[in-house]
């Protein structure tokens, strides 16, 4: 879907947990500089301040219902209309939203990266270019362990339990099938500059 001139183009980057989708989104945004802004779909996890910590820990965060897709699509529409938005901030240690949002001004190119960017129809419908990042399961698991232990305060046992009980089955049910909606599939184990160049080439006719 090619947008009209001067209308921001929305690039969606999806893929399995720890496939490299956020890394690609960040690198693409850095390469495009002031022309682009990046939205992480993870910021749209539902606020759970009304729940006990035990209840929060039992939540399936890998199911599409864990995310507030309506708010994300509203923000994508606003940015496409040239309006500033207030992005939520999510605390992965407490599983709640931070009190202060992040203000985001519209740019020529809006990049949105996340697990269910392609598996949810209302989000997918807002994309001008869709990218699926693919990586082997063992690579993704190793990356997730390193990330969750060092950056999100998790322990190894908890990371492995979540992988087996929710991450892997939700990947098979929702994420993996969503790659069939992608305009292009890239190798999440590839060199990042090469991946950015591939996406830029696909984006060039739209910009």
| Backbone dihedral angles phi then psi of residue 134, each to the nearest 5 degrees | -110, 135
* Sequence-separated (6 or more) residues with CB below 8 Å from residue 64: 116, 119, 120, 174
Q: Tokens 């309006």 appear where? A: 83
Task: Kindly compute the dihedral angle of the four CA atoms of residues 186, 174, 12, 15, in this order, to the nearest 10 degrees.
Answer: -30
CA distances, 144 to each of 53, 158, 192 (Å): 22, 12, 18
9-42 pLDDT, tens digit each:
999 999 999 999 999 999 999 999 999 999 999 9
DSSP string across 98-109: -SS-EEE---SE
Confidence tier at 207 by pLDDT (50, 70, 90): low
Task: Kindly compute the dihedral angle of the four CA atoms of residues 108, 113, 119, 122, in this order, to the nearest 10 degrees.
Answer: -40
Specify whether the CB–CB gap between 67 and 41 falls below 8 A: yes
Class of the CATH domain delimited by 9-203: alpha beta
Q: Is the pTM of this model over 0.85?
A: yes
Confidence tier at 6 by pLDDT (50, 70, 90): low
- For the chain, which residues make up each domain, given as ranges? 9-203
Q: Tokens 């909606």 appear where? A: 181
| Backbone dihedral angles phi then psi of residue 56, each to the nearest 5 degrees | -65, -40
60-72 pLDDT, tens digit each:
999 999 999 999 9
Report the 10 Å Cβ neighbour count for 47: 14
């Amino acid at each position: 879907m090619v947008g009209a001139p001067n209308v921001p183009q929305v690039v969606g980057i999806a893929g399995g947990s720890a496939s490299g989708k956020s890394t690609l989104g960040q690198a693409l945004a850095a390469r495009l500089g002031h022309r682009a802004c990046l939205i992480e779909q993870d910021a749209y996890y539902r606020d759970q301040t009304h729940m006990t910590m035990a209840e929060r820990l039992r939540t399936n965060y890998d199911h599409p219902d864990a995310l507030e897709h309506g708010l994300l699509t509203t923000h994508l529409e606003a940015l496409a209309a040239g309006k500033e938005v207030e992005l939520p901030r999510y605390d992965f240690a407490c599983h709640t939203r931070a009190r202060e949002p992040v203000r985001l001004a519209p740019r020529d190119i809006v990049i949105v990266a996340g697990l269910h960017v392609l598996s949810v129809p209302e989000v997918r419908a807002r994309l001008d270019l869709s990218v699926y990042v693919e990586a082997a399961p063992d690579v993704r698991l190793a990356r997730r362990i390193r990330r969750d232990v060092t950056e999100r305060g998790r322990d190894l046992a908890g990371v492995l339990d979540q992988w087996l009980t929710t991450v892997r089955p939700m990947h098979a049910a929702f994420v993996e099938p969503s790659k069939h909606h992608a305009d292009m599939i890239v190798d999440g184990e590839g060199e990042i500059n090469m991946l950015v160049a591939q996406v830029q080439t696909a984006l060039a006719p739209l910009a």
